[in-house]
Amino acid sequence: MENKGKIETGEKIQFRAKRGKWFVVKKMDINENTEDIEIARLLNSIDKTINKKILEFLPFDIKKIEEMADEIYQKKKGRVKEEDIANALSKLKSPSTTRKLNNITELKEGKEILKIILNNIILERLGIKTKLDTKLIDKYIEKSSD
């Protein structure tokens, strides 16, 4: 006899999303043998998935933000110079950049969202990581278990 009213117990993480053709499931059952770093890894993976998709669902032309980023700083091969960092950060905070954001949205909150996206693009291009990489966590787990 099947118990359809069964209540699940135990600790777990479950993330499910379905929107159009996009479908993702990430889950983990947690028990006494589950290490905190494994939980952190899954949560980071969920965060990465969410952050990629957020840009698709925001009502802004992300291509325009990419174009603005190209005007501020284009990634180059080799080491990033301190003057490149200073110049890029100066351009990010300039009134000119704020005016360009006005062409995308006039709402203050919209401009703040776009500034954060633009900041993250530029920082990544400068080699300044703003998010944990799941692969890095995997390497850490692998090397720490040796």
Among left, alpha and beta (phi > 0; psi -120 to 50; other), residue 127 is: left
Euclidean distance between CA atoms 40 and 22, whole angstroms: 24
In sequence order, what are the beta bridge partners of 23?
Answer: 18
User: pTM to 2 decimals?
Assistant: 0.83
Contact 114, 122 (CB under 8 A): no
For the four alpha carbons of 53, 59, 61 and 66, in that order, the dihedral sign comes to negative
Contact 100, 118 (CB under 8 A): no
pLDDT values of the chain reduced to their tens digit, one per residue, 146 residues: 455 555 566 899 999 999 999 999 999 999 999 999 999 999 999 999 999 899 999 999 999 999 999 999 998 888 999 999 999 999 999 999 999 999 999 999 999 999 999 999 999 999 999 889 999 999 999 999 87
With a CB cutoff of 8 Å and minimum separation 6, the contacts of 143 are: none
Q: Which of 19, 127, 124, 20 is nearest to 65 (CA)?
A: 124
